[in-house]
Homo-oligomer: A and B are copies of this chain.
Amino acid sequence: MSIDQSARRGIPEVTVARLPEYLRALRGFAEQGTTSISSEDLAAATGVRSAKVRKDLSQLGSYGVRGVGYDVDHLAYQISLALGQTHDWPVAIVGMGNLGRALAAYRGFATKGFRIVALLDQNELLHGERIAGLVVRPVTDLPELVLEGLAIGVIATPADSAQDVSDRLVDAGVRSILNFAPTMLTVPDGVVVRKVDLSTELQILAFHEQRKVEPPTHLQEARA
């Protein structure tokens, strides 16, 4: 209520989470030569309802043309603008184990506006090793990296070390963290953490799987 319509600048988090999906779909359409697209088409391509698509897109501004649809290229441009893809974001990965190496080798980030600029590990035996064209460096290099523009840190260390690594990232000045360790991180205000937890995802699947097996003797209520 009283905390007013500065909502103008505040795109809902759920919408933000869907924007990359729209963007990906748009790139696909652009690739196959489609120049104009309706909210219905975009909805079909991303698996959401067209009304939601329109409401989401209207958060960015009025970039559609009634009776016609959206210009694929222009809409893609506006979304990437909203997402901050105006330039590449430098990313550092901390923890060069199984997962860290897979991430380092992944070529898909580059096309989404991210550049992996550093691979860090505590283990001195790894320092100097080349992985995917980058040399593994000590975690103490973080402050230097931040001065060079590092903005996003990825934590791929064991859970025990995750809070420590997080603290180092924050101390160095990183304010956006993607955490793969299955643990909750405590960070100061202003730092955004997102967590990817594969075990949790599997557990959610197991929940639904179990529900299917166990016949719903009670009222129907077969989940959505």
Contacts and interface: CB of A to CB of B under 8 A. Distances in A.
A201 B178 contact: yes
A35 interface: no
A36 interface: no
Contacts of A205: 152, 176-178, 192, 194
A120 interface: no
Contacts of A102: 98-99, 101-102
Nearest to A214: B84
| Residue of A25, A91, A184, A186 with most chain B CB atoms under a 10 A cut-off | A184
A47 interface: yes
Interface centre among A19, A175, A204 (most CB of B within 10 A): A204
Count this chain's copies in the assembly. Answer: 2
B216 A113 contact: no
A31 interface: no
Contact of A200 (B13, B17, B62, B203): B17
A103 B46 CA distance: 27
A224 interface: yes
A199 B20 contact: yes
Interface string A104-148: 011011001110000000000000000000000000000000000
Interface in A1-40: 4, 6, 8-10, 13, 16-17, 19-21, 23-25
A66 interface: no
A113 B112 CA distance: 34
Contacts of A113: 203, 206
Contacts of A9: 216, 218-219, 221
Contacts of A25: 184
Contact of A152 (B61, B175, B209): B209
Nearest to A198: B196
A82 B207 contact: yes
